[in-house]
């Protein structure tokens, strides 16, 4: 939500609605940890710092940027430095 608020100048309610719409959820589901845990697993957008043995933080950010169609500076820099396109 914070990225949408900052990048697109949205208020929190509008940011929540946009994320919910893009993920195919109801706005109330975004605050439900059980629902969001399942959504993160299904979409491979785990928490950025899950701990050892889980998806890499950068991979999570790349998947979040792709799924939510937002710009994330570290993702753009990573793409630029590695020459990878995803």
Put simply, whether the predicted model's pTM sits higher than 0.75 gets the answer no
Torsion of CA 29, 6, 65, 48, to 10 degrees: -70
Rounded Cα distance between 6 and 1, Å, is: 9
Rg over alpha carbons for the chain, rounded to the nearest Å, is 13
pLDDT tens digits, one per residue of 29-59:
988 989 988 888 888 776 655 556 555 778 8
pLDDT tens digits, one per residue of 58-79:
888 888 888 888 888 989 999 9
Pull the structure tokens for residue 62: 């790349």
4 CB burial (10 A radius; 0-12, 13-18, 19+): buried
């Amino acid at each position: 939500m914070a990225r949408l608020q900052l990048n697109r100048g949205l208020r929190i309610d509008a940011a929540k609605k946009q994320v919910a719409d893009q993920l195919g959820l109801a706005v109330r589901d975004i605050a439900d940890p059980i629902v969001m845990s399942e959504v993160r697993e299904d979409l491979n957008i785990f928490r950025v710092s899950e701990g050892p043995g889980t998806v890499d933080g950068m991979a999570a950010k790349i998947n979040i940027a792709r799924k939510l169609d937002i710009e994330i500076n570290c993702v753009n820099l990573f793409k630029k430095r590695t020459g990878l396109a995803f």
